[in-house]
């Protein structure tokens, strides 16, 4: 078990152990720092010797620790949550004064009825009742109050650290949940456009509709089964992207000029699923489909050792809205990239009157690498 797990654990046994260690350290510190002249006129090392002196010091410290613990726990587990956290500061200060007096009275009682008789039996010098009253009032400030302040400071710091840790975990969980939601939103958007294409051929009773259904089933299998993971084989992603392009090419026939160039080794790489397809989809939906004459698409992909370079250009009608800013698919990809690679990706979208270009660079990994969700938040 790590130190962090021990400090932040809420298990009763570990909490009791933490508190025991704290008071043990306080006890050792008080014994070591006790004045050599002792607490009375003859209670000193010079007159008593080391053994008898520290016998008195240990006994006296036990009584002191009892008062300090009482004050600390009343402060931290009663006054602070009941008044301080609720911003009842006047009530808190008034209650703090009452607790101080109660602890001072408690100190007087245990020293007068417990410590003094024990010291008398062991033939140590005793505090007079009047002296004991003064000590009880002053040392409740100098001892228990000081120990309580340290105790409260440590508790506040621990709670603050735990809150920061919980907030970080919550941010990661929210980001991962949002990431899954954005990934899920790609599915219906992609399928909606593809099914529309199949529907148009089915109305014409074209034989190509059956072929397109088979290709779509392959794409659906990929989305339902393979995309459930955080990373997927780059080859699979490219294969599904090619299936989508083939579905679209059937629709356009020979009037679409499309060029695809893939360079680099792709067989041993992994990538975030559905990170490229929305751009390809966009090039058809807002590019080629809007062009009556000479639509074209150019796609270049290069897989380096650790970076994927993706460049996609397409023609578009001059009156088409800026899909890079308004398209659902592109907005999702942009958001996913920000969540997955907040400082480790490049996405440039350039739009002119007649062209639309996407340049993207994202990390890719080898199949043999140990890939976990934590990579997404590094």
CATH code of the domain in which 226 resides: 3.30.565.10
The number of distinct structural domains making up the chain is 2
Q: How confident is the model at residue 357 (pLDDT cuts 50, 70, 90)?
A: very high
52-61, 76-85, 115-124: least confidently modelled range: 115-124
Biggest CA pair distance of the chain: 114
Does the structure show a pLDDT above 50 at 66? yes
**Assigned domain for 199 exists:** no
| 252 and 373 in a common domain | yes
Question: Do 127 and 228 lie in a common domain?
Answer: no
Do 221 and 161 sit in the same domain of this protein?
A: no
Tell me whether residue 189 is in a domain.
Answer: no
| 371 pLDDT more than 60 | no
User: What does residue 59 show for φ and ψ, rounded to 5 degrees?
Assistant: -65, -45
* Nearest Cα to Cα of residue 364 among 322, 304, 314: 304
Does the residue 179 lie in any domain?
A: no
Domain assignment of residue 185, yes or no: no
* Same domain? 159 vs 248: no
Confirm whether 222 is domain-assigned. Answer: yes
**Is this structure's pTM higher than 0.85?**
no
17 in any annotated domain: yes
Q: Are residues 159 and 212 in the same domain?
A: no
Max avg pLDDT among 166-170, 207-211, 372-376: 207-211
- The sign of the CA dihedral 25, 27, 28, 30 is positive
Last residue of a domain, one of 168, 196, 220: 168
- Compute how many other C-beta atoms are within 10 angstroms of the C-beta atom of residue 69: 18
Q: Which of 116, 141, 168 is at the close of a domain?
A: 168
Tokens of 156: 């506040």
**Structural domain for 158, as ranges:** 3-168
Same domain, 225 and 145: no
Whether 193 is in a domain gets the answer: no
Q: Which residue has the higher pLDDT, 221 or 5?
A: 221
Q: Is residue 259 domain-shared with residue 131, that is, in the same domain?
A: no
The stretches of the chain forming alpha helices (DSSP H) are 3-8, 12-33, 45-48, 50-74, 89-110, 116-121, 129-140, 146-203, 208-225, 234-252, 277-285, 323-326, 328-340
Same-domain check for residues 251 and 126 = no
Same domain for 373 and 295? yes
- The pLDDT tens digits of the residues spanning 125-168 come to 666 777 777 766 666 665 655 666 676 777 777 777 777 776 66
In a domain, 174, yes or no: no
How confident is the model at residue 42, as a pLDDT? 52
Asked if 273 and 153 sit in the same domain, the reply is: no
Domain shared by 164 and 219, yes or no: no
Shared domain for 293 and 150, answered yes or no, is: no
Which of 112, 141, 168 corresponds to the end of one domain? 168
CA distance to 81, 122, 155, 156, 217, per residue, from 7 (Å) = 21, 41, 11, 13, 53
pLDDT at 303: 93
């Amino acid at each position: 078990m790590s130190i962090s797990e021990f400090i932040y654990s809420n298990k009763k046994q570990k909490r009791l152990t933490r508190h025991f260690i704290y008071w043990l350290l306080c006890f050792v510190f008080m014994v070591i720092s006790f004045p050599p002249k002792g607490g009375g006129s003859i209670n000193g090392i010079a007159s008593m010797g080391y053994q008898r002196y520290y016998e008195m010091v240990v006994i006296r410290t036990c009584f002191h620790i009892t008062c300090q613990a009482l004050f600390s726990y009343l402060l931290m587990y009663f006054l602070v949550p009941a008044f301080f956290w609720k911003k009842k500061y006047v009530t808190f200060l008034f209650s703090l004064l009452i607790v101080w007096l109660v602890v001072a009275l408690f100190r007087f009682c245990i020293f007068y009825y417990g410590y003094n008789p024990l010291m008398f039996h062991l033939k140590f010098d005793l505090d007079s009742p009047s002296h004991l009253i003064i000590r009880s009032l002053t040392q409740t400030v100098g001892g228990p109050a000081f120990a309580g302040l340290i105790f409260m400071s440590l508790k506040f710091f621990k709670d603050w650290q735990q809150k920061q840790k919980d907030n970080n975990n919550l941010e990661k969980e929210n980001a991962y949940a949002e990431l899954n939601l954005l990934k899920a939103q790609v599915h219906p958007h992609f399928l909606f456009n593809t099914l529309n294409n199949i529907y148009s051929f089915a109305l014409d009773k074209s034989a190509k509709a059956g072929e397109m259904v088979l290709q779509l089933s392959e794409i659906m299998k990929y989305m339902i089964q393979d995309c459930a993971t955080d990373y997927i084989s780059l080859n699979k992603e490219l294969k599904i992207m090619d299936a989508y392009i083939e579905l679209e090419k059937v629709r356009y026939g020979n009037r679409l000029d499309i060029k695809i160039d893939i360079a680099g080794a792709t067989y041993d790489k992994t990538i975030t699923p559905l990170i490229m397809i929305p751009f390809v989809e966009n090039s058809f939906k807002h590019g080629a489909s809007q062009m009556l004459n000479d639509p074209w698409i150019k796609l270049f992909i290069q897989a380096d050792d650790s970076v994927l370079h993706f460049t996609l250009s397409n023609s578009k009608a001059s009156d088409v809205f800026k899909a890079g800013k308004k398209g659902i698919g592109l907005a999702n990809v942009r958001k996913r990239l920000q969540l997955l690679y907040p400082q480790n990706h490049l996405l440039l979208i350039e739009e002119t009157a007649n062209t639309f270009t996407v340049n993207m660079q994202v990390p890719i990994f080898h199949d043999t690498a140990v890939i976990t969700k934590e990579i997404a938040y590094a």
